[in-house]
Structure 1
Amino acid sequence: MSAEIRTFKASFGVSWLKAGWTVFKAQPLTFMMMYIFIVIVGLFPFILPNTIIQMACALAGPFLTVGFYNAALNSQAGKSIMLADILKPFSAKGRRLNLFRLGLYQLGVALILGVIMSLLFEPVTSAIQNHSPEQDMESVIAQIAAAISFSDIAIFVVLQSLAMMAFAYALPLVYFKEQANILNAMKQSLKVFYYNMAPLSVFGGIVALLMIASAPLSLVPLMFIMPIVYIGFFVSFQAIFAAQSSLEDNTPDQGDKHQDNIGQSGRFDA
């Protein structure tokens, strides 16, 4: 069964980030440690290039992300959280199987995108691999530039973006809304981006600017910024998939006021 999707104005992209900050500042160090833990697990395949480790880390990703979301939910409720809370989804009976299945879908899509990438950028790879040490660097760069096709780049960016959008809300839908149909959850996630393009574009634009601003500092500020982004995104999920019945007794003006409380309380009370 599909959950109802609600739409919001562009300004709510800012409100969700404000809500993320409100939750984050309750226990900033814990949320930062959770984010660092997720990054470390994500880097393991590069440190230890082993197929089994790569698959294990890829499949663990959804569990750790919803563990972070669940910690944010507990913090919204005024509960104290700890780093170990990020591992709780691994022991969530009745939900972990669907998370595992979602991880398999993500792994499959990543493999397909990898094949597409190798096919699209094969001329660039060949130009890099086949140059001789005697060649002038300028001529090598010219060969690489000539091999680059902007249409191929555009195709890959579109496919990568669609994959990210398909899984973005599918993950919390599978865990918090207990949707067992992975493909249906992915379709709903894509619909969210279609109907809420304005606030999510504002949200993503602000995040992109913050990431660019952190580049001169070796991206160190991301340890502070990204936990807020994670929480803000989860707040957007709470808002977009909130039960419509929670607003049935409100007038339109009261409903807008109720929605504005997201940025003040750090929680969307459905």
Structure 2
Amino acid sequence: MDQKVQVKLIIRRVPMQAALSWLSKAWELFRQAPSTMIAMVAFMTVLGLVAQFHPVLGVLLVLVNPFLTAGFYKSIVLLQQQKEVNFQLMFSVFSEARYRRTFIRLAGANLLANIPLILLMDQLMEQTQAKAVEPLTALFFVAALSLVFMLFAYAVAIAYFLNEQRLQAILTASLTACWRNVGALTLFGMMAVALGLLGIVTFGFAFIVIVPVLQIAFFLSFSAFFALQLDDSAPAVLEV
């Protein structure tokens, strides 16, 4: 069997405490190029804020987001290889033609998947203003939000690093990885919330460091789930 196919099929089930190592390793990577990591995340944040001003800008952001995200992830991999990175690397994937079709299809699927979320959010806002929130509506929203997150959480990384072009295979792999590792991801989410509270206490200044570190740590979870860099010292189960 071809080695590439084997890598694409393997999804690693990691213990819950693996989330702790993601953060510690992310901090070490961040320290190698703090200004570059901060600049990249700040750029994405500004784009997200600008996109709120008009629906067309929002659509454009969704279309370019996979390319920028892949560029950010590419920079993390280079840091793991002890190589230098710069801000321009974030835009390097735009010139890699073989990913364009896949990323555009992912962006389109993301737009379609978010339509129900927008409708449910509008309904919740109306109910909140009327002070008559229906628990069933809130439950549907949480369930839909969780499903969309799991479908697209690792989609860009799967398409770029595993060179998977089939949309269904990408989304299924992302969903499976999240489902099998819900414990580790839940712990990671709890730690992210705790760090977010620290950012609030420091009047937002800590977010300059916290957000990039969390973004790096999340990519490291992809590396762990899809066995890109096996760590023999960490117990885990490999599944297909």
Is the shorter-chain TM-score for this pair beyond 0.5, marking a shared fold?
yes
Structure 1 segment 1-270 matched on structure 2, within 5 A: 2-46=8-52, 48-49=53-54, 51-119=55-123, 121-124=125-128, 128=129, 144-145=130-131, 147-242=132-227, 256-257=232-233, 259=234
Q: Residues 123-162 of structure 1, C-alpha deviation per residue, up to 9 Å, x if partnerless? A: 44xxx4xxxxxxxxxxxxxxx32x2122211210111111
Q: CA deviation at 1:117?
A: 3.0
CA distance in 2, matches of 1:153, 1:112: 13
- What is the letter of the counterpart of residue 55 of structure 1? V
CA distance in 1, matches of 2:173, 2:120: 25
Structure 1: gaps (5+ residues): 129-143, 248-254, 261-270
The answer for the alignment partner of 1:131 in structure 2 is: none
Greater CA radius of gyration, 1 or 2?
1
Q: Residues 35-61 of structure 1, C-alpha deviation per residue, up to 9 Å, x if partnerless? A: 000101111122x42x43221112111
CA contact (8 A) 1:69 1:230 kept: no
CA contact (8 A) 1:13 1:200 kept: yes
CA distance in 2, matches of 1:4, 1:89: 25
Structure 2: gaps (5+ residues): 236-240
The sequence identity of aligned pairs, in percent, is 28
CA distance in 1, matches of 2:45, 2:145: 20
State the SS of the aligned residue for 2:84: coil
**Number of equivalenced pairs:** 229
CA distance in 1, matches of 2:50, 2:124: 27
CA contact (8 A) 2:120 2:137 kept: no
CA distance in 1, matches of 2:80, 2:144: 35
CA contact (8 A) 1:169 1:237 kept: yes
Cα RMSD, aligned residues only: 2.0
CA distance in 2, matches of 1:159, 1:94: 31
CA contact (8 A) 1:42 1:61 kept: no
